[in-house]
Amino acid sequence: MKRAQTVAEAREIQVSLRERLIFEPPPGFAPRRVAGADVAFDKRRDLAFAAVVVIDLETMETVETATAVLPTTFPYVPGYLSFRELPVLAAAWECLSAPPDLAVLDAHGYAHPRRMGLACHAGIEFGLPAIGCAKSILCGQPGPLSEERGARAPLVDPRTGEEIGWVLRTRTRVRPIYLSVGHLIDLPTAAEIILRLTPSGRYRFPETTRRADRLAAELKRSR
């Protein structure tokens, strides 16, 4: 990946990569191996701990995991987190025995001030479909959302009126998640997959996120 030393360089890279984004799935897209990825940080030691967990979408079993630990090389700057997280994620990704069919990132994709969040950057970097599934809003205004599981509403940029993602309810009467495309995916397909990854609405977050987050935390504690 292209490394950035400054925020100005990072912004230029985001703008240039944005032109490569594709907002529809590949022909015949039927993902089976779905990867979740998460990064934990130790600020005291300036270390990043990445975890990738691959789940079989049909059985919901974990079929493979990979981890990596690297020094952090980019500061924490909202809107530029991919430059902080992608190097260690890429190191973990390279340890997988086979590439997954899809990546789900605990991050934003197109719902980003420059339309180039971590899910977009990772999708291009790894060359596969990617979904941004975030816990909170980075930008955009959510529309009204009903209380039942599966409800969805547009997430709209109030400055331009552009729909940049969806608000998706994965559990009835529980706070929603914020869905946006990363790369090689569209919103309806992304929503269908996220609902499959939250079977029966038992948890708010998809299993990919839950398992990767747990593994990254365990890795950090073990070091």
Read off the pTM: 0.95
**pLDDT reported for residue 83:** 96
Q: Across the chain, what does the average pLDDT equal?
A: 96
Residue 136 burial (C-beta neighbours within 10 Å; 0-12, 13-18, 19+): exposed
List the domain boundaries for the chain.
Answer: 32-222
- Bigger pLDDT: 2 vs 166: 166
- The predicted model gives 89-98 an average pLDDT of 97
Please check the confidence at residue 141 and state whether its pLDDT lies above 80: yes
Question: The domain at 32-222 falls in which architecture?
Answer: 2-Layer Sandwich (3.30)
- The predicted model gives 125-154 an average pLDDT of 97
- Cβ neighbours of residue 3 under 8 Å, at least 6 residues apart? 73, 83, 87
